[in-house]
């Protein structure tokens, strides 16, 4: 990335995001992207007012808009898949970030050919749609970890997560009647969730969720309940056998998950975290090149 004492040739980023809340991994991902871009020496803003004091996520102001206009710098606008069209109509590059399957929660199921497509996970790309991967980790290791956990050898209860599954009319298995719910209606903070996961014997999940990673980082094995809802929203995804996850819930598989869960932290750091910075650098390179090409054409 070139630098200058006298001018800025880099396009700013406008991240179209809702107010920061801990309960949504998708919202956190958008704010973390803005923060990471600023930490990488770029200029990025969020379009909302509610931000985290721990993050470099300035609100897009009228002053910033005016400054970019008079300096002839068209922005790169990042929309999650839940937003239809190009409501900001800023005239620059549009990058569509699929944080879920298009249309699953809201938004369009297809996008204009001029939009740049990025996906949080390869499984979020529908058949026939191509795009690059941009995976920004949403699990804070300073919160979700199993360090110095004196409960690790005496985990007492089980937890479950089935927020969207229940909202679609699903029913939780009877053997989880006394389990601790981690669904969003519980209004738990990240620190409270981590404290529960550091004491839990197993987390049962009915749908894709960042809680899988958070549980594994806390030393809690995960059992996936493979319902029709799960199958419809994961494209037959399965977890590697050494991650501490069981997909069939048998006693043998659960015992194997418990024996492997301690390995996940190092796997996560060596793959997910390192790859994320590579994804970010490629995202920056591709979007800045597209912005430069667009400005040259005009």
pLDDT band at 223 (very low <50, low <70, confident <90, very high): very high
Show me where the domains of the chain are located.
13-136, 157-268
106-135 mean pLDDT: 92
For position 6, what pLDDT does the model report? 74
254-266 mean pLDDT: 94
> Using one digit for the tens of pLDDT, what is the confidence trace for 88-104?
999 999 999 999 888 87
Dihedral sign from CA coordinates of 125, 217, 275, 267:
negative
User: Cβ neighbours of residue 127 under 8 Å, at least 6 residues apart?
Assistant: none
Is a pLDDT exceeding 80 seen at residue 237? no
pLDDT band at 287 (very low <50, low <70, confident <90, very high): very high
C-beta of residue 44 within 8 angstroms of C-beta of residue 13: yes
For position 298, what pLDDT does the model report? 58
CATH architecture of the domain covering 157-268: 3-Layer(aba) Sandwich (3.40)
Between 127 and 99, the higher pLDDT residue: 99
For position 236, what pLDDT does the model report? 63
What is the greatest pairwise CA distance in the chain?
A: 67
Kindly write down the DSSP assignment for every residue of the chain, as one continuous string: ----SS---SPPEEE--PPP-TT-HHHHHHHHHHHHHHHTT--EEESSS---TTS---B--HHHHHHHHHTT---EEEEETTS-S-TT--SSEEEEEESSSTTSSSS-SS--TTSEEEESSGGGS-TT---EE-------TTTS--TT-TTTT---EEEEE-HHHHHTT----GGGTTSEE-SGGG---HHHHHHHHTTEEEEEESS--THHHHHHHTT--EEE---HHHHHHHTT----TTSSEESS--HHHHHHHHHHGGGHHHHIIIIIIHHHHHHHHHHHHHHHHHHHHHHHH-
Helix (H, G, I), strand (E, B) or coil at 259: helix
What percentage of the chain has pLDDT greater than the value 70? 98
Is a pLDDT exceeding 90 seen at residue 291? yes
For position 15, what pLDDT does the model report? 98
> Using one digit for the tens of pLDDT, what is the confidence trace for 34-85?
999 999 999 999 999 999 999 999 999 999 999 999 998 999 999 999 999 9
**pTM: predicted TM-score of the whole model, two decimal places:** 0.86
> Using one digit for the tens of pLDDT, what is the confidence trace for 9-26?
899 999 999 999 888 889
**Tokens coding 154:** 């005496």
Is a pLDDT exceeding 80 seen at residue 1? no
Q: What's the whole-number average pLDDT of the chain?
A: 92
For position 235, what pLDDT does the model report? 63
What are the backbone dihedrals phi and psi of residue 268, each rounded to the nearest 5 degrees, phi first?
-60, -45
For position 16, what pLDDT does the model report? 98
For position 195, what pLDDT does the model report? 97
C-beta of residue 149 within 8 angstroms of C-beta of residue 198: yes
What are the backbone dihedrals phi and psi of residue 126, each rounded to the nearest 5 degrees, phi first?
-65, 160
For position 208, what pLDDT does the model report? 85
Interior CA angle at 4 toward 42 and 289, to 5°? Answer: 50
4-8, 110-114, 206-210: least confidently modelled range = 4-8
C-beta of residue 265 within 8 angstroms of C-beta of residue 243: no
């Amino acid at each position: 990335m070139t630098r200058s004492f006298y001018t800025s040739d880099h396009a700013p980023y406008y991240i179209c995001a809702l107010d920061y809340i801990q309960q949504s991994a998708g919202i956190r991902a958008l704010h973390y992207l803005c923060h990471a871009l600023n930490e990488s020496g770029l200029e990025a803003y969020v379009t909302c007012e509610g931000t985290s004091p721990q993050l470099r996520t300035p609100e897009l102001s009228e002053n910033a808009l005016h400054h970019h206009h008079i300096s002839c710098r068209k922005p790169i606008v990042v929309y999650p898949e839940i937003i239809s069209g190009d409501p900001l109509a800023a005239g620059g590059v549009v990058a569509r970030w699929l944080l879920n399957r298009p249309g699953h929660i809201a938004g369009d199921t297809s996008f204009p050919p001029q939009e740049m497509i990025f996906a949080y996970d390869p499984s979020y790309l529908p058949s026939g749609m191509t795009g690059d991967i941009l995976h920004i980790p949403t699990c804070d290791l300073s919160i979700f970890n199993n360090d110095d956990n004196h409960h690790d050898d005496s985990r007492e209860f089980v937890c479950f997560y089935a927020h969207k599954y229940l909202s679609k009319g699903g029913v939780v298995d009877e053997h989880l009647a006394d389990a601790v719910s981690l669904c969003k209606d519980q209004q738990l903070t990240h620190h409270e969730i981590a404290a529960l996961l550091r004491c839990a014997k197993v987390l049962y999940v009915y749908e894709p969720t960042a809680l899988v990673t958070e549980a594994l980082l806390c030393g809690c094995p995960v059992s996936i309940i493979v319902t029709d809802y799960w199958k419809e929203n994961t494209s037959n995804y399965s977890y590697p056998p050494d991650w501490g996850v069981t997909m069939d819930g048998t006693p043998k598989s659960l015992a194997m998950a418990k024996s492997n869960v301690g390995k996940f932290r190092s796997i996560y750091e060596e793959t997910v975290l390192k790859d994320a910075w590579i994804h970010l650098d490629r995202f920056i390179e591709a979007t800045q090149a597209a912005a430069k090409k667009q400005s040259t054409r005009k």
